[in-house]
Structure 1
């Protein structure tokens, strides 16, 4: 009989592989940006949302919040840095108005993350309480991350073109939701 810790590790590794695929899925979008030397009408929202999501999950996985969650920390730490690279590329090829949007969003995320860490460590004194509160926040930001590619839907409807809809990111996000749904019903 396989113990629960082994199952947890196997499912965690599978989740990490799928999540890594999600983090790498925007590469075709960034190839287009490199070739055009401009972001055109692509939006930075999915990448900015993913930075906060990865930061929250990395914090969640730390031993003083949720012990024995090394796989959560490793994949989200990697995702955090991958998304920072995407945002940096986006920043380089953006006009000033989009750069300003990126800067403001990142400053808000840093302030929010600092507040979450401070409140968590000062107010909640057990890993059970910290795991519950940060876990709820992580789920909220997970939903925001998965729905962020839809911020371009207004343009898709208006132009009747999916040219600026990040297809591979949308597909990978959809597959990730299917994976999570399969785990919940198993």
Structure 2
């Protein structure tokens, strides 16, 4: 049974890796054109938030090495994506992205880690972090919908990240 649990975890990690890497073509396009065009940063900010908290959960909960490593990888990849987005975004978008990034990925993550670390211990801490992660996954899985306004307005799916949406869908079905 333990072997099966590990195998399911490895399959989940493969799906998660594909999810983290799926926007790669989008960012190659952004770098080549030196413009974010009409792409949204929100899906990457939300994924970074979720990955950061899942990494903390994986480091806190015993025997959660797979959760910590794959999400730690995701943190690194999402930081690269957001950095590229900030480099190539027009100034108003850069400011908006920076503010949302600061609130969600510095403020919220810092508060969540600080509060759970200082105020809770043992299983209660692990449960609280897991509950936060699960609740925030709803935002992460819905974040590609932020591109829907643009898709509807332009009557084109050009700015809808299909691979990201697809792998978020698959990722939502695996068990951590």
TM-score bracket for this pair, using the shorter chain length = over 0.9
Show the counterpart of 2:10: 13
What is the CA-CA distance between 1:78 and the residue it aligns to?
0.3
Given that residues 66 and 131 in structure 1 are in contact (C-alpha distance below 8 angstroms), is that contact kept between their aligned partners in structure 2?
yes
Give 1:117's match in structure 2, choosing from 100, 113, 120: 113
TM-score (norm 2): 0.93
Q: 1:94 deviation in Å?
A: 0.5
1:49 is matched with which residue? Answer: 46
Residues 98-177 of structure 1 aligned to structure 2 (within 5 Å): 98-108=93-103, 109-126=105-122, 128-177=123-172
Q: Which 10-residue stretch deviates more, 47-56 or 156-165?
A: 156-165
RMSD: 1.5
Whether the aligned pair in 2 keeps the contact of 1:38 and 1:94 (CA below 8 Å) is yes
Q: Normalization by structure 1: what TM-score?
A: 0.89
Aligned to 2:67: 72
Q: Which residue of 2 aligns with 1:85?
A: 80
Runs ≥4 residues deviating over 6 A:
none
Residues 66 and 130 in structure 1, CA contact (< 8 A), matched pair in contact too: no
Number of aligned positions between the proteins: 175
Computing the radius of gyration over CA atoms, which structure comes out larger, 1 or 2? 1
Task: Give deviations 1:33-87, integer Å, cap 9, x for gaps.
Answer: 122210000001111111111100000011xx31110111100000000010011
Structure 1 segments unaligned to the other structure (5+ residues): none
SS in 2 for 1:61: helix
* Unaligned 5+ runs, structure 2: none
Using CA pairs under 8 Å that are at least 6 residues apart, name the structure with larger relative contact order, 1 or 2.
2
- Of 39, 55, 60, the match for 2:57: 60
